[in-house]
A and B are shown apart, each in its own frame.
Chain A
Amino acid sequence: GQQLNQSPQSMFIQEGEDVSMNCTSSSIFNTWLWYKQDPGEGPVLLIALYKAGELTSNGRLTAQFGITRKDSFLNISASIPSDVGIYFCAGILLAGGTSYGKLTFGQGTILTVHP
């Protein structure tokens, strides 16, 4: 199936440190998305990537769409306590030439930031 392997599963860092997480798959994806989920809430989009090789920043967040279209990474620079949460990668694969893609999620990375 279209499984996404996300790593690491969890991270414990000090405030001010940089964070890096990634997702890999054996399948090729057309779109990569990175989401953050706060406790008790639904996931919220952080960054969307639509082209292989694309590097996109959103404030302290930077994400890249791997050139092979099978992987993506997310970096968070100078972490702050409110970065705590679960981060998910997600991929959209267009099925059989249709325009309707199924959204598949990685297992999530739980980030804890110590002040």
Chain B
Amino acid sequence: NAGVTQTPKFQVLKTGQSMTLQCAQDMNHNSMYWYRQDPGMGLRLIYYSASEGTTDKGEVPNGYNVSRLNKREFSLRLESAAPSQTSVYFCATHRGDMNTEAFFGQGTRLTVV
């Protein structure tokens, strides 16, 4: 049981390049989230998806797009990476009701140079 799997674990991009961060879960959870973590800022919500086919903006959505094509996968795309997007990105899943915890992936450390 892998839980929440994020790929890649590390990535270096040049400014202006694009890439997609992948997240897959085998927990049959409805809700999925993308967070970025910067020093002193905690975990800030980029986008979330309450269920397959639906997405909503979080606190810091600018410069990102997401796709929830099926229940298992929720991808985060950077169309034109900027140095300000250097961060650690975490995917999380949640069953979707209030009485459950959220589970996190191991994170993707992204550096934009």
Interface residues of A (CB under 8 A from B): 1, 6, 9, 30-31, 33, 40-45, 48, 50, 88, 90, 92, 94, 98-108
Contact = CB atoms under 8 A, between A and B. Distances in A.
Interface of B: 4, 30-31, 33, 35, 40-45, 48, 50-51, 56, 58-59, 90, 92, 94, 96-107
Contacts, number: 73
Contacts of B48: 102-103
Contacts of B35: 105
A78 B92 CA distance: 31
Contacts of B45: 102-105
Nearest to B56: A102
Contacts of A50: 98-99
Contact of A101 (B41, B43, B44, B98): B98
Contact of B92 (A30, A40, A41, A103): A103
Contacts of B58: 102
25 contacts: A9-B40, A30-B98, A31-B99, A41-B106, A42-B4, A42-B92, A42-B104, A42-B105, A43-B43, A45-B101, A45-B103, A48-B101, A50-B98, A98-B50, A100-B31, A100-B50, A101-B94, A102-B56, A103-B31, A103-B33, A103-B92, A103-B94, A105-B44, A107-B41, A108-B42
